[in-house]
Amino acid sequence: MPRIIPQYREEVKQKIVFAAFTLFIEKGYHGTTMGEIAESLGVTKPALYQYFPGKEDLFAAVAEHARQEFKGTLERAYAGRNIRDGSAALFDALLNYVPQFNGMYSEMLLLATRNDRLRTVLVQDRTEDIRVIERFISRQQETGLISSRLDPRVLAVACDALANGLLMDVLMGMDRDEAKTVWIAALEQMVRVGP
Buried b (16+ CB within 10 A) or exposed e, 115-137: bebbbebbeebeeebbebbbebb
Task: Mark the segment that binds its own copies (CB under 8 A) among 9-17, 78-86, 138-146, 157-165.
Answer: 157-165
- Nearest approach in angstroms of CB 193 to its own copies is 8
Q: Are 179 and 98 in contact, with CB atoms under 8 Å apart?
A: no
Distance CA 11, CA 159 (A): 36
User: Using the rule CB under 7 A, is 34 a contact of DNA?
Assistant: yes
Distance CA 121, CA 128 (A): 11
User: Using the rule CB under 7 A, is 8 a contact of DNA?
Assistant: yes
User: Using the rule CB under 7 A, is 32 a contact of DNA?
Assistant: yes
Q: Are 187 and 162 in contact, with CB atoms under 8 Å apart?
A: yes
Residue 39: name its binding partner from DNA, its own copies, none (Cβ under 5 to 8 Å by kind). none
- Nearest approach in angstroms of CB 59 to DNA is 10
- Nearest approach in angstroms of CB 110 to its own copies is 5
- Residue 90 to residues 23, 76, 130: CA-CA distances in angstroms? 25, 8, 14
Query: Which residue number, 88 or 174, has a Cβ lying nearer to its own copies?
Result: 174
Query: Which residue number, 62 or 179, has a Cβ lying nearer to DNA?
Result: 62
Triad 123, 109, 51: Cα angle to 5°:
80
User: Using the rule CB under 7 A, is 174 a contact of DNA?
Assistant: no
Restricting to residues 44-73, name those near its own copies by CB under 8 A: none
User: Using the rule CB under 7 A, is 82 a contact of DNA?
Assistant: no
DSSP 8-state symbol, 149: T
- Nearest approach in angstroms of CB 49 to its own copies is 12
- Nearest approach in angstroms of CB 93 to DNA is 31
